[in-house]
Amino acid sequence: MTQLALVIDLNVCVGCHACVTSCKQWNTSGLAGPMVDQNAYGEDPTGTFFNRVQSFEIGTYPQTETVHFPKSCLHCEEPPCVPVCPTGASYKREQDGIVLVDYDKCIGCAYCSWACPYGAREMDAQQRVMKKCTLCVDRIYDEALPEDERKPACVMSCPTSARLFGDVHDENSDVSKAIRERAGYQLMPEWGTKPANHYLPRRKTEITIHPDELERADNPLSKEERKQHNAPSTGPSLDDMTSW
Amino acid sequence: MHPPFSMVFLTTLIGAGQGLFLALFTGQIFSQFKLLQAHDSQFFVVGTAISIILLCLGLFSAFFHLGRPERAWRSAARWKTSWLSREIIALPTALGAVALYGLAHFLGYTEPLMITAGGTQIDLTILLGLLATITVYILFICTGMIYAGIKFLQEWHTPLTVINYTLLGTASGFTIATALAAYFATNESSLVPFYATWAIIFTLLALITRSASLIRNRFFIKPKSDMRSAIGINHKNIKQIAQGSMGGSFNTREYFHGKSEGFVNAMKIVFLVMVFAIPLVLLVFAFNLSGLIIPLVAVAVQYFGLMVERWVFFADANHPQNLYYQQIS
Ligand code: SF4
Ligand code: SF4
């Protein structure tokens, strides 16, 4: 069975919100839209988003690091939000594991959002139905798009390639390899929801620099060299100084 | 959680309506077994009418909770998995059964259909009453399980939630029945002591179980999730600096009550006094003093107290998603 999902690399996410805006742009104008914006230029702007980037400060100053954390529906393999829905508007697709809401059936009772521990569902204040990430189900199968664009809008837009998309049940897929080789993990595993989306942890980046890499022995620009060059009558003539 | 007023009204109104029906039927059973003097049949008709009005008002307020009330009929579809769906079926069913019971009394269908070995007469109202009792209990269970069934809300995920809904509803229903008995009381006969006794018993039982849930939630709950499991970073010092929106979102509106902890604690005292202390004292007075005023005040104080109790019930519950929404920016 296929289970499509996102794998998000916290090590390279720079918190630019490109995924947030491209998600909103794609989805508000498509199948899952409109996604309301209220008070967009006022004091308390609010609206529906399927994907948000949050930022966390880890540690105590000055030993702090900022982690940018994109959060959207995790398309849980055991989605607690689905069985509680009284109308059947919330469902998980057999063929690819995507969790979706049928806007035409939803009565806007918000019960499913209570049953999601991640706060991934948002009630649209204008359409008054429950909305959430669709994994761009209207992009990924669209044969009118070139094959390498059949990916969620957020994945397409990420400038640092922090978002990978694929089938986490196929052990040879890029996402499965990334989870396996880079210690991918799930959020709040204690609830048994088995999120399909995974996160790749921060890694420490280290490079080793030897002193002779800082001071190249034959560096023509080094001060010592210059002194020699400028010494009267012993230095090279100007014609020999092409490397200057 | 942010207490939704539609749900506060729904649960308190239907609880009282269900409790009132149970009170009426208890009285009828006692009379039937000759443990109590006979009731005026008007008593049942008026009582059932009040119970129906309460249930209908509850149903009506439930619609305000829905974003798309015009599609409410769809919600009966998933009764196999969803307690909400089950409640939506159970509520009109109980309403119908209680209405049939009242109708049988109204039409005077009290000819005995059969007589048991002990000489107790069974008539249509008793049979319909038994049916309605079953539906009323099913409704209590469904209502309670809507909340108790969500494991993420640890404050709710306990059998105490269902027990409290049942006992608080029953207690308020018996208090209303006491007022009704006072209204129908004559100089020679009064059913006030009977209903007041049961109202006191159920109020005391509810006091025990509701206090148990307050104590459980205050002292014995260990939140299963914390910042570490929420974002999967193993560090004890994690502080949010942005939540992805500048002016709040559905997530900040739906899950935070927005009041201080002190306010919530004060409301706990308020409801303990209004649901339990004052009605208990008034019910004891109602034994000895005739008149409608005392039991009516007891009904009103207890009902408003229950609204506060329900507010606290919601405000007390802490959703794990709140971990992601600590700081606007
Ligand atoms: S993240 Fe929430 S909304 Fe998405 S499948 Fe899991 S429980 Fe459901
Ligand atoms: S809000 Fe809509 S999708 Fe969610 S439980 Fe209610 S009917 Fe189902």
- Pick from B157, B231, B238, B327 the residue to mutate for testing the A interface (most A CBs within 10 Å): B231
**Parallel, antiparallel or unpaired: strands A90-92 and A37-38:** unpaired
Residue A219: its pLDDT value, please? 63
C-beta A193 within 6 A of ligand 1: yes
Ligand nearest to the CA of A106: 2
Subunit contact B242:A55, Cβ cutoff 8 A: yes
Query: Residues A183-241: pLDDT tens digits?
Result: 999 999 999 999 999 999 999 888 888 877 776 666 666 666 666 656 666 666 666 55
Residue A149: its pLDDT value, please? 93
C-beta A75 within 6 A of ligand 1: yes
Measured by CA distance, the residue closest to atom 2 of ligand 1 is A116
C-beta A76 within 6 A of ligand 1: yes
Contact call for residues B318 and B326 (beta carbons, < 8 A): no
Residue B95: its pLDDT value, please? 97
> What does DSSP assign to residue A226?
H
| Residue range A105-114: mean pLDDT, rounded | 96
Query: Residues A66-90: pLDDT tens digits?
Result: 999 999 999 999 999 999 999 999 9
C-alpha radius of gyration, chain B, whole number = 22
In chain A, where the domains are located = 4-200
Whether chain B has a CB inside 8 Å of the CB on A11: the answer is no
Subunit contact B67:A129, Cβ cutoff 8 A: yes
Contact call for residues A119 and B152 (beta carbons, < 8 A): no
Residue reference for tokens 């009764």: B79
Q: What is the DSSP string of A122-180?
A: EE-TTT-SEE---TTHHHHT-TTS-GGG-S-HHHHH-TT--EEEEETTSTTSHHHHHHH
Query: Residues B138-147: pLDDT tens digits?
Result: 999 999 999 9
Backbone angles phi, psi at A58, to 5 degrees: -105, 130
A138: confidence class by pLDDT, cuts 50, 70, 90: very high
Residue A244: its pLDDT value, please? 43
> What does DSSP assign to residue A101?
E
Residue A226: its pLDDT value, please? 61
Ligand nearest to the CA of A109: 2
Residue A185: its pLDDT value, please? 96
Domains along chain B with CATH numbers:
5-230+240-324 (1.20.1630.10)
Task: State how far the alpha carbon of B266 is from the alpha carbons of A15, A85, A229, B260, B269, in Å.
Answer: 42, 35, 85, 10, 5
Specify the ligand 2 atom closest to the Cα of A107.
7
Give the rounded distance of the alpha carbon of A56 from its chain centre: 15
A46 forms bridges with which residues in the sheet? A38
Residues 6+ apart with CB under 8 A from A19: A51, A53, A70, A153, A154, A155, A157, A158, A163
Q: What is the ipTM of this complex?
A: 0.91
SS3 labels along chain B: CCCCHHHHHHHHHHHHHHHHHHHHHHHHHHHHCCCCCCCCHHHHHHHHHHHHHHHHHHHHHHHCCCCCHHHHHHHHCCCCCCHHHHHHHHHHHHHHHHHHHHHHHHCCCCCEEEECCCCCEEEHHHHHHHHHHHHHHHHHHHHHHHHHCCCCCCCCCCHHHHHHHHHHHHHHHHHHHHHHHHHHCCCCCCCHHHHHHHHHHHHHHHHHHHHHHHHHHHHHCCCCCCHHHHHCCCCCCEEEEECCCCCCCHHHHHHCCCCCHHHHHHHHHHHHHHHHHHHHHHHHHHHHCCCCHHHHHHHHHHHHHHHHHHHHHHHHCCCHHHHHCCCCC
C-beta A108 within 6 A of ligand 2: yes
Residue A213: its pLDDT value, please? 72
A99 C-alpha to ligand 1 centroid (Å): 7
Contact call for residues B2 and B254 (beta carbons, < 8 A): yes
The nearest CA of chain A is from the CA of B278 a distance in Å of: 35
Low-confidence ranges of chain B (pLDDT < 50): none
- Note the CATH number of domain A4-200: 3.30.70.20
Neighbours of B48 (CB within 10 A): 26
C-beta A101 within 6 A of ligand 2: yes
- Which A residues 167-186 touch B at CB under 8 Å? 185-186
Subunit contact A116:B74, Cβ cutoff 8 A: no
- Pick from B324, B325, B328, B329 the residue to mutate for testing the A interface (most A CBs within 10 Å): B324
Contact call for residues A177 and A170 (beta carbons, < 8 A): no
> pTM for the full model?
0.89
Residue A107: its pLDDT value, please? 96
| Residue range A23-28: mean pLDDT, rounded | 96
Neighbours of B191 (CB within 10 A): 23
C-alpha radius of gyration, chain A, whole number = 26
